[in-house]
Chains A and B, each alone.
Chain A
Amino acid sequence: MKNETNWKKAARVIILIIALLFFLFPVVWMFLTSFKTEAEYFSYPPVFIPHHFGIENYLNALAMPPDGRGGLQGLRDSIIIASGSTFVSVVTGALAAYSIARYKVGGDNFSFWILSTRMFPPVATALPLFLLFKTVKLLDTHLALIIANTIFALPFVIWLLKGFFEELPAELEEAALIDGCTPLGAFTHVALPLVTPGLVATALFAFVFAWNEFMFALLFTRRNVRTLTIIVPSLVGGHEILWGEIAAIGTIAVIPGIILALVLQRYLIRGLTMGAVKG
């Protein structure tokens, strides 16, 4: 009997290790490729571990394409756009979430309408937004992408924060209101500090989703704005495939996601299901 459970335990661990190898292999392969020379990534049999871990590919990638603004510009634009849409959606979203959680504004129908806007296929909203941005001359600007990303960030932020506010006991804010605090004061001085961990988690999720966004970046930008997610396919599509350089940009591009996975363990379930499943 004891032996059997040991066998089971061993089988469990072995299967999990194999599965983990499967799920991490592509990321690890890209990471290793980012250090390989051309002779190493175009070789048969494939080279698994590069001979030398230099940062040449990273330096080249940041300076590419030849106009000299490639990877570095992508990094800058991704940071501006992801931070911008996170800021707008968290500031407006936190107020709305608080109001919905505490005062039940609009009832269930209103909050479900907000959630449903998150489910729009991006390709369905892309065309009217494109024509709108074209009319107001916002194509190829950071602002256009901040606005577009806010569409998907805002419902997410409201729903996640609504859940966090609902879990706070209302007594503290009631006491503050009775002591003469304004509703805005009760929100900023009492409720907000208490949900800080949830607020940070929400903001990080919103940041990573905007950081990973691709379709809007593809359609609403040309030359002036180029996110990292745009640079990867534009280099893949070139006549020679610069795997080392693309892998370097790809590695830079996955860092926020990996940090999120490792840091926000407690909030992953909520964040990924918009609070539909509470972990």
Chain B
Amino acid sequence: MSGAMLDAQNHTKRLFSDKFRKRSVPLLFVLPALILLLAITIFPLLYELRLAFVSWELTVSTKATFVGLQNFKDILFHDARFWSSLKVTLILMIGGVSIELIIGTVLALLLNGLKRSRTFLLSLFLIPVLIAPVVAGFQFRMIYHDQYGPLNYIIGLLTLGHWHGFAWIADPHIALFAIMMTDVWQWTPFLMLIILAGLQAIPVELYEAAEVDGATEAQVFWRITTPMLIPVIIIGVLIRAMDSFKLFDIIYLLTGGGPGDTTETISYYTYLQGFKFFSLGYTAAMAFIQLIIITVIAQLFLRVQQRQPGNE
């Protein structure tokens, strides 16, 4: 066999194996993760979808009976507690995320002016974000304690003993606010971090050009900083909205949904239906309603993220 023929043969061989590689190897690489994800998300969800159409009260019987859309009808038209929990969730989401956004923006602007100490301070600020929400809940349970807690003591000092604060988590008018403040404490640094990243990504040339043109500080803030920050703020707010919608841990630790159902979020109510009242079909239907709401927010998030520079 001549050298040229051998070369040609080797070449085809390699091309063939390249083709083979291109198709199968990447798939093989993805396969373990794909199988895991399918097994632990898709199958349970399909199972749950089936559950949503049955009535299955574990406290009454171990049998499930098909009821069609009855669960969804009951939830949407006859369950005041569902709507109340949805309201609580939305108040916490909108109120909490708004406060977090305002404080977070102010802190980010202040931190942005620092030079050497910025990174270290940022790390300290981020500690609340990285500790378990349950532990955060316990910390605030001590802080909110009406008798021995430091918060009411400090309020007493500041008002010279005229006012001794609240029974923060036992007062039905205040408890929701106390929960919101715990969430604000834990998540404001997260929005601060994102906005700070956004601030640092604004090209210096823009500010230099504005200075040359003689723009005032207010003009620079509203005409340059704000519009440049909007995409980053949208991403941060959507991430927070999704997390806040699932709020459960600090409710479990601080109030258990009480007093009454004034702090009962939709996650907490679903948990009660499923794991305290054992209404399995009803819980499944409620879970699906939440999945739909979350999917809408998630779709918004994905659209915005796809438009980010660098992600095409």
Contacts and interface: CB of A to CB of B under 8 A. Distances in A.
14 contacts: A16-B110, A48-B150, A95-B29, A96-B30, A99-B26, A103-B25, A108-B306, A119-B297, A218-B252, A229-B135, A250-B135, A268-B123, A276-B239, A278-B197
Contacts of A273: 194, 235-236, 239
Interface residues of A, number: 97
Contacts, number: 283
A29 interface: yes
Nearest to B157: A45
Contact of B126 (A19, A268, A277): A268
Interface string A31-71: 00100000001111110100000000000000000000000
Nearest to B297: A119
A257 B130 contact: yes
Contacts of A184: 25
Dominant SS among interface residues on chain A: helix
B29 A44 contact: no
A215 B271 CA distance: 9
Contacts of A233: 134, 137-138, 252-253
A123 B271 contact: yes
Contact of A23 (B26, B185, B301): B185
Given A26-B140, A105-B29, 10 more contacts: A26-B128, A116-B295, A119-B294, A119-B297, A126-B275, A127-B274, A127-B284, A228-B132, A233-B138, A278-B310
Contacts of B194: 269, 272-273, 277
A176 interface: no
A228 to B, nearest CB: 8
A46 B148 contact: yes
Nearest to A91: B32
B153 A117 contact: no
A172 B226 CA distance: 41
A41 B40 contact: no
Contact of B249 (A98, A214, A269): A214
B302 A116 contact: yes
Given A121-B291, A127-B280, A277-B232, A106 B30 contact: yes
Contact of B44 (A92, A128, A154): A128
Contacts of A122: 246, 248, 267
A153 to B, nearest CB: 10
